[in-house]
Structure 1
Amino acid sequence: MKPFAVQAGEGAKHPTLTTGWALVKADTAATNGALTVMELLIPRPKAGKLSRPVDPEELAALGHACWIELAGPPLEVSDPLPR
């Protein structure tokens, strides 16, 4: 099978509403319309300026309503801010 995704940090770069970027790793053209994979790059300074803690279930519900499935541990677990 021919590889259809690109490496971390590579891919078509699109700006997001959070002043970050979405990198398209694999699109529907490469997967016969079955899958789109994106890497989201979110600026870290914004993380400390949220008005309240984000409830994981609320975030999952919001993502589901937008046809997004969030996978993996929360960012505070996988890449915590230095204390």
Structure 2
Amino acid sequence: MAMGLLKQLKYKYYVTLPLYMLTRGERIVLNAFFFLLLAMLFTGVYTYFPNHLKVVAHRTYYYYAGGDAGDESDALLGIL
């Protein structure tokens, strides 16, 4: 079942993009570009998203409680 899904996704990837019309070298360059783009996206999310959650927790507590949260919002949400 999982292999069928992977084959279907691979087929959609090849047909949606013009990969079937490209030479092998062009395909490698295009796939490397997409891989690097996704790697940078995941690295950025892994690096900056936890800090963003902390900022959002502080702002949520500020609007909910009406004052500065300090470390209370971290303890409340279980974030560092």
Q: What TM-score results when the alignment is normalised by the length of structure 1?
A: 0.25
| Greater RCO structure (CA 8 Å; 6+ sep) | 1
Larger Rg: 2
**Larger relative helix fraction:** 2
Q: What TM-score results when the alignment is normalised by the length of structure 2?
A: 0.26
**Larger relative strand fraction:** 1
